[in-house]
Amino acid sequence: MSDPEKVTGGLNSLGAKDIFLLFRDHLEPITSYVIKTFGHDRLEKILAASDLKVIGPVTISNQGFDFTDSTFKVNFGEISADLIKSDFGGLYSALYTEIKTHLGPKVALELFYGVFIQVKDKYDYVPVSAFLDIMPEEIKSRERLSILSRKELEDQVFERTKELEEEKSKVERKVEERTRELQAEKNKLETVTENMLEGVILIDSFLRPIFVNKDGRRIMGISDSMIDKAVEIFDRYFTINSSKYLSGELSVSRSISLEKEIDNLIYEISFRRVSPVRDGENECYLIWIKNITQFKLLERAKSEFVSVAAHQLRTPLSGIKWTLAMFIKGDLGLLTPDQKAFIMKTYESNERMIILVNDLLNVEHISSQGAEYSLQPTDGFDLIENILVDLSSDIKNKNITIKLDRGSVPAVPMDAEKMRLVFQNLLENAVKYTMKGGSIIVSAKKEDHFVTVCVADTGIGIPVSQQPNIFKRFYRASNATRIHTDGSGLGLFLVRTIVEHHGGKVWFESVEGQGTSFFVSLPLRAI
Ligand code: ADP
């Protein structure tokens, strides 16, 4: 692309060689025309008269000037563009005058004009417009406008090109910036994943490993080059069939966790389904490997401590209970009414301690891994009715209406002793947290392969903000602690542990001040 600014310098702004080539392209066809029309001699005369200084002596062949030869002889570095211009300019006007005189202005103009058009097509705006300066007036006036519009066009193209180039460099800068940002993000992510103290394996939907972090490689003892085989090695190492967990069971729940003990280390392994890492692809899977040995050892130590302490407490508490009972009955001599009232209070406190110790022992026993479950088809309602007999005096004291709706549900495989604890806790809570004159409805129904029992009361309810914590160990809602200062907060934890061991689910619906419904759902097929 030529720079329009240069035009101001006219033909002089071009190099001597450019001007020479320009004239050659124009003069060659004209001189060959002159030879054809007037003969060789006439051309020589014209040439002599024009007194060419620069390129002469020029050989004249049958086709006209032999510029090919001259081109190589001339040292353009030493000749000024002005000189060539005046040289050729003179020859050029001599030829034009000659043709015009002998063949008329029309022929001269047509010949020069035709050749000029060819030159115009071949060269850029700058040389052509400069060349036009020494054209006969007729051609000059005819062509100036078209040359100018060509200049405008070239200017516009030049402007647009400039804009596009600016645009392009802006886009390039943005791409560079974005690439830098992405690189920084990638580095951040790599730093985190490579330095985290958990193993991570990312797998595509065809169970091919996409990524294994440093700790994952370390745990399984694999090198970078073995990453393609990571899932295979993982399965062998942990004796797990990943495809079973990933393809089958993840379609039911979105995440599965299990524990594996290898070489005295305990790992928690979770399989999770995650969003695709690349657009348009299927979901991916993550396998998390966490070393939970320390946590497990602590938990074991704590459980051992709690059960030893609870066991040790049970015997003296029973001793205290019997001694107090003997006082109350008068076996150890008559008591004054005041003494008796104090002893009664002590007896009740001792009873609460016994309940707490039993709860603790139950929790530790039932949540320990070795707890054995023996499932037998059982009618849950028989257990419920039995428990209600035990609770009858409280129910009567609080004037609570009980309604049982057995429905027509089949017997469910369950460990009756442990499920008794479940229903006992739910019914005790319902009675405990329902005010005088309230009511409790216990119902059951079968849905698909599950039987669901519901214990609904019209009691104090559970505040929404505290509902997420209700199954946690030792958690008690604030409205419950206000009306019942005693209570261990262990009951529901126990309920959930037992129900989940049966492959079932427990949940509740509650409105504070209106009541609570607990649902226990057990599978009909033994798991
Ligand atoms: P505890 O009854 O000994 O406090 P639980 O583990 O059985 O412990 O229950 C935990 C908490 O859940 C209770 O303290 C109470 O806040 C709430 N809760 C359980 N059942 C009911 C119910 N039927 N109505 C209202 N609140 C309940």
Q: pLDDT tens across 460-504, in order?
A: 999 999 999 999 888 999 999 998 877 889 899 999 999 998 989
Q: Mark which of 339, 367, 395 sits at the end of a domain.
A: 367
Q: If you measure from the C-alpha of residue 376 to the centroid of ligand 1, how many angstroms do you get, rounded to a whole number?
A: 29
Q: 13 in a domain, yes or no?
A: yes
Same domain, 24 and 61: yes
Q: What is the pTM of this model?
A: 0.53
Atom of ligand 1 nearest to the CA of 457: 23
Co-location of 114 and 228 in the same domain: no
Tell whether ligand 1 has an atom less than 6 A from the beta carbon of residue 521: no
DSSP three-state, residue 204: coil
Is any atom of ligand 1 closer than 6 Å to the C-beta of 454?
no
CA 425 – ligand 1 centroid, Å: 9
Residues 6+ apart with CB under 8 A from 409: 444, 445, 446, 451
Same domain, yes or no: 426 and 462 = yes
Cβ contact 359:343 at 8 Å: no
- Extract the tokens encoding 147: 């040359």
Cα torsion through 302, 305, 308, 313, rounded to 10: -110
The best mutation among 358, 433, 453 to test binding of ligand 1, ranked by most ligand atoms within 8 Å of the C-beta, falls on: 433
Positions of the chain with pLDDT under 70: 1-13, 54-76, 148-154, 247-255, 369-370, 526-527
CA neighbor of 388 nearest in space, from 436, 420, 356:
420
What per-residue confidence (pLDDT) applies to 478? 93
Q: What is the pLDDT of residue 4?
A: 41
359 C-beta closer than 6 A to ligand 1 = no
Q: Does the Cβ of 429 fall within 6 Å of ligand 1?
A: yes
Q: List all residues 6 or more positions away from 238 whose beta carbon is below 8 Å from its beta carbon.
A: 260, 262, 267, 269, 289
83 and 217, same domain (yes or no)? no
Mark whether 349 and 391 lie in a shared domain. Answer: no
Output the domain CATH number for residue 214: 3.30.450.20
Residue 109 inside a domain? The answer is yes
Q: State the pLDDT at residue 74.
A: 63
DSSP-based three-state secondary structure for 495: helix
25 and 113 together in one domain: yes
Residue 73 pLDDT: 61
Ligand 1 atom 11, closest CA: 476
Q: Ligand 1 centre from 402 Cα, in Å?
A: 19
CA distance 407 to 443: 7
Whether residue 163 is contained in a domain is answered as no
User: With a 6 A CB cut-off, is 357 part of the ligand 1 pocket?
Assistant: no
Picking from 291, 316, 348, the residue at the C-terminal end of a domain is: 291
Please check whether residue 179 lies inside any domain of the structure: no
Q: Give a yes or no: residue 386 inside a domain.
A: yes
Task: Assess whether 484 and 411 both reside in one domain.
Answer: yes
Q: How far is the CA of 428 from the centre of ligand 1 (A)?
A: 9
CA of 489 to the centre of ligand 1 (A): 7
What's at 481, amino acid-wise?
A: T
Looking at the structure, do residues 276 and 301 belong to the same domain, yes or no?
A: no
Question: Which value, to the nearest 10 degrees, does the dihedral of the CA atoms of residues 204, 208, 213, 215 take?
Answer: 120
**What is the predicted pLDDT for the residue at 1?**
39
Q: Which atom of ligand 1 is nearest to the CA of 470?
A: 12
If asked whether residues 200 and 269 sit together in one domain, one would say: yes
Residue 7 pLDDT? 42
pLDDT at residue 457 in the model:
97
Q: Cβ(480) to ligand 1 under 6 A?
A: yes
Contact between residue 299 and residue 259 where contact means Cβ atoms under 8 Å apart: no
Task: Check if 100 has its Cβ closer than 6 Å to any atom of ligand 1.
Answer: no
Residue 328 resides in a domain: yes
Q: CA–CA separation, 153 vs 409, rounded Å?
A: 91
Separation in Å, CA 39 to CA 35, 66, 113, 389: 4, 16, 22, 141
What total of structural domains would you count in the chain?
4
Phi, psi of 58 (to 5 degrees): -95, 135
| Of 87, 111, 144, 114, nearest in space to 34 by CA | 111
Q: Give the structural domain span for 100.
A: 4-147
3-class secondary structure, 205? coil
In a domain, 479, yes or no: yes
CB of 443 closer than 6 angstroms to any ligand 1 atom = no
367, 400, 423 — which closes off a domain? 367
Ligand 1 pocket residue status of 271, Cβ below 6 Å: no
Q: pLDDT per residue over 405-444, tens digit each?
A: 988 889 999 999 999 999 999 999 999 999 999 999 999 9
Cα 30 to ligand 1 centroid, rounded to whole Å: 113
Neighbouring residues of 402: CB distance < 8 A, sequence distance ≥ 6: 388, 395, 439, 440, 441, 442
> Do residues 517 and 384 both lie within one domain?
yes
User: Cβ(490) to ligand 1 under 6 A?
Assistant: yes
Cβ of 470 closer than 6 Å to ligand 1, yes or no, is yes
For residues 412 and 496, membership in a common domain is answered with yes
* Residue 511: both structure tokens together: 């409105």
For ligand 1, say whether the CB of 457 is within 6 Å of any of its atoms: yes
Instruction: Tell me, using a 6 A CB cutoff, whether residue 120 lines ligand 1.
Output: no
Residue 170 falls within a domain, yes or no? no
Quote the pLDDT of residue 320: 95
Supply the pLDDT for residue 8. 44
How far apart are the C-alpha atoms of 142 and 154, rounded to whole Å? 20
Do 283 and 310 belong to one domain? no
